[in-house]
Structures are given as C-alpha cells and as structure tokens.
Amino acid sequence: MPSESENRACLEHVLKYFDISFTMRQRRGALNVDCPYCAHDEGKHLGIFYDSDKFNFSCLKCKTSGYLFDYLNHLTNISFLDFEELIKSQRPIVEQTALEQITNIISGEGATEVELKGPRRVRWPPPGTMPISKLWDDPVVKFFLKKRNLLLRECMEHEVHIGVMGRWTGRFIFPVHYKNQIVAFQGRDMTYRQEPRYLTEGDVSYFVYNIEGLDPTCPGVITEGVLNTWAVRENAVATFSTAMSPDQIRLLSQAKVPYWILCWDIAEDGSDAFWKGREMAQSLSGVFGPGKVGYVELPPGEDAASLGHEQIWQILRHPKFI
C-alpha cells in the first residue's frame, strides 16, 4: 500500500503531466485545483485528496465530488485504460529518491525495454482532422504558425493535422514515432483559450520524442515540448512534461551523447519548469558524471519555440554545468 507521501507525489506528477496548476490545501491531505464544474468561477476550491490511493475529490463551493479519473476525464476525455497506465507509470518515480531511481535505471533495474505491444496503439490520423496543407491559409492556423515560428514545410514534414470537429477542434496535432510506428499523438490548442493546453492520445511516458534521431557525436538538448524540439532542430528531444518516467530516463541514458543540456522554460511569474530542470540536471549528473548534464536559463515567459532557432542556439551555446 503506497504511503501518503508517495500518493501526494504521484498526484503532483499526474497534475503536472496535464499542466494543471495546484496549491496546497490548509487541511492536510489534499491539493487544491481550479474547479471545472463551477461555471464562470475561478479559484482553487476543488480539493483532490491523497490520504488514500483512491484520489477522491470534492468542491467546497458547488459540492461536486468524485474520483481523480472523473475529474481528468471531464477535462481531457482520457480513457480509463490510459488513466490506469498513467498512474502506474508515475508510481515508480515516487517510491525512490531521484538519485536512487536514476541509478537503478542505469544499472538495469526499475524499468523494462519498451515493447510496442505494451502501450495501447493509436489511430492516426484521428477522426475530425485534416492535413495542415489543406488549412494553411486559415486565419487561426496562420496566426499560430507565426506566433510559434513554424514553417508550413516543416509542419508537413512532421505530418501535422488540424482538428476541425469533435474533441480535437482548434488543435495543432502531431504524431509521436517509435521504431517506425506512430505510438501516440498530441494536440496543442491554437486558440489560447482551451484547457488543457495539450490533449494526448496514447501514453507518452514510455517514449522520448526524437530519441532515435540523435547524432551520438553531438550534445543532446532536452526540451519539455515537441514544438520546442522543432525550434532547436539539431539533436533535440522532448519528454512531454517535467515528470520523467523510468522508461524515458532509460532511453536518455542509452543515447550515448557527449552531454545533455536541459532547456526548460520559465513562466512569466517565475515558475516552474526551469527549476525542475535544474533539479533534474543535478540528479542526472550524479549518475552521468561531472560535465555530462547542463542547463540553460531562458527569458521569463519564453520557450525555444517562441524564441526561434537562431535565438535559442545563442543561449544553448553557453550551458551551465552542475
């Protein structure tokens, strides 16, 4: 039976996976999040409890209650199978310290080689979508491409689709490849109004984006999101969130690049991915060795995609090493 501290860490990882912000409730045993059931009422008054592994929730204002799956399904339409896989993938992270976890992974314990029969396969392209080549002149699409410094040519190379119907409406959708198969895909909101910002089909915690496209003679760059990887271009990968799973760390360790540079952004309010990246750099360097893991600090409110290729490489040329 997981301890309360393990449950809390697991819950934090799951919320961060979906970019859901939270605060600590004054009453011990719960994290507060914005309630999606209270119409037009912002404020973190829905508590998700971690004093048991059931993760039940209740809202102080509208009195809606249920379990973590109900809450995530309401926000993202996640299936119960994917929810169980996500919870399972986060458990190993919280049962050990970061250094213990990484040490065991490098030594061959705590994670298994990814098998494509394990993660659920996905249908590509998803229904209700069209190739970007047919919608490139849509005003919303053109605005998004300009804001994120994306070229139509590279979007077509990455098989991008645009959601026009159903749950993917208004989203910029790209597949995740592993061993010549599409194992997952994500849809990024183009309107800057939908929550969550990313919708995911398939369990990306098994994979590291572009891990098979690395040149082992050059340094590797670890970004948080796929669009940031496209901006960096040369030898960049994405972990999809700041919560790395054992399988992701194993894949990074097998890449055999000279060293890694963590390139995670800093929000305008001064949080949060950058500091997690620095902590992860410290943990990874404890195993990979001095000079093997560095990090860079981006301007607040910017990421690799918003800065663009030339600017981000001016920063990446001067990493700080732990």
In 119-170, the DSSP E strands lie at: 129-131, 161-163
| Token duo for residue 243 | 């919560």
Q: Is the pLDDT of residue 57 over 80?
A: yes
Give the count of alpha carbons within 13 A of 39, CB side only. Answer: 0
Q: Is the pLDDT of residue 7 over 80?
A: yes
Q: Is the pLDDT of residue 133 over 90?
A: yes
Average pLDDT (159-176) is 95
Q: Three-state DSSP class for 262?
A: strand
Highest mean pLDDT among 53-57, 86-90, 136-140, 288-292: 136-140
Percent of the chain having pLDDT more than 90? 37
CATH topology classification for 211-321:
Dna Topoisomerase Vi A Subunit; Chain: A, domain 2 (3.40.1360)
How many angstroms from the chain centroid is the CA of residue 92?
17
Domains of the chain, by residue range, sit at 4-95, 129-204, 211-321
* Confidence (pLDDT) at 203: 83
Mean pLDDT rounded to a whole number for the chain: 83
Distance, CA of 262 to CA of 237 (rounded, Å):
10
CATH topology classification for 129-204:
DNA primase DNAg catalytic core, N-terminal domain (3.90.980)
Dihedral sign for Cα 187, 273, 70, 1, please: positive
Phi and psi, residue 199, nearest 5° = -110, 140
DSSP conformation class of 179: T
CATH code for the structural domain at 4-95: 3.90.580.10
Of the listed ranges 80-84, 144-148, 201-205, 238-242, the one predicted with least confidence = 80-84
Give per-residue pLDDT as tens, 176-208: 999 889 999 999 999 998 888 888 888 888 899
Distance, CA of 126 to CA of 129 (rounded, Å):
6
271 Cβ contact partners less than 8 Å away, ≥ 6 residues apart: none
* Confidence (pLDDT) at 119: 46
Whole-prediction pTM? 0.68
Give per-residue pLDDT as tens, 80-91: 777 877 787 665
**Of 99 and 141, which is predicted with more confidence?**
141
Distance, CA of 187 to CA of 199 (rounded, Å):
5
Average pLDDT (223-232) is 95
305 Cβ contact partners less than 8 Å away, ≥ 6 residues apart: 148, 149, 150, 225, 227, 228, 230, 231
